[in-house]
Amino acid sequence: MTYRQRRESCNGEILGVVLLLALTAGTAGAIDLATARLVDLTHPFDETTIYWPTARHFHLEVVAHGETPGGWWYEANNFCAAEHGGTHMDAPAHFAQGHWSTDEVPLDRLVGPAVVIDLGAQVARDRNAMLRVQDLEADEARNGRIPDGSIVLVRTGWSRYWPDPATYLGTAVPGDTAHLYFPGVSGEAATWLVTRRRIRAVGIDTASIDRGQSRDFRAHRAFTSANVPIFENLAALEMLPVRGATFIGLPMKIRGGSGGPLRAIAALP
């Protein structure tokens, strides 16, 4: 077997294990892998990737790109970036001392049944809208109870502004955190989700689980103190049903990290 064949076989086995975890992680029935459709929920990392105004942006340095003296092709790069930017995970340690770092988050917190909460109507009226407890209760009245152990994904529609930082963040000025404007989750809603529904993880299609004008980061604090990982800057949530998809989010395993770049997908039945 060639190296390429071994690598492809290994990749297939890894994907199979991940999807098997997805099948067994939820409470709402298995997804048939033969017919499942995979949706990429990840923005690419490049020179346009949006980062927090105070963070180091993604940089790719080309080390080699061409034919070697021996006659074969070879590419290699170095990259540098902050933990928190682009599609990424916030580990609980990000806002909760002594809680899980990036490498300590168990795999079963990264895979599970997706519950999509649509905040689009509120965001259309107010770009600083927050998901509130009454929104969660209204969603349950329409779509049924949010199952314990779900991964809740807040769909604001904000990813349509990617990669324009002035619109997506509210400012394109480096270091400017005073003029951030985008929707998020209220502290009360975050507490309700971790205490009343015991969710395993949460995600959103904006730059932060707290809205841009937050100064106390109550949603971050509520989620991370309950060891709930947070996925931010998700893409394509409009392609997911409100119930029935399986979320898979695998961050770079940075030992001792407070977060890291994330490859997020959803498997649709």
Compute the distance between CA of residue 236 and CA of residue 222 in angstroms, rounded to an integer.
26
Q: What is the pLDDT of residue 269?
A: 87
- Domain map (residue ranges) of the chain: 3-55+83-268
Report yes or no: 54 and 38 within 8 Å, Cβ to Cβ: no
Q: What is the pLDDT of residue 8?
A: 45
Q: What is the pLDDT of residue 215?
A: 96
Q: Tokens 């917190």 appear where?
A: 109
Q: Please state which CATH class domain 3-55+83-268 belongs to.
A: alpha beta
Q: 62-116 pLDDT, tens per residue?
A: 999 999 999 999 999 999 999 999 999 999 999 999 999 999 999 999 999 999 9
Q: 10-22 pLDDT, tens per residue?
A: 445 445 545 554 4
**Spans of the chain below 50 pLDDT:** 1-11, 13-14, 17, 21-22, 24-28
The token pair at 155 is 């769909």
Q: At what angle do helices 187-196 and 218-225 cross, to 10 degrees?
A: 20
Long-range contacts of 106-109 (CB under 8 A, 24+ apart): 107/21, 108/21, 108/25, 108/200, 109/200, 109/201, 109/227, 109/228, 109/229
Q: Which among 185, 232, 171 is positioned nearest to 43, based on CA atoms? A: 232
Q: What is the pLDDT of residue 16?
A: 54
Q: What is the pLDDT of residue 32?
A: 74
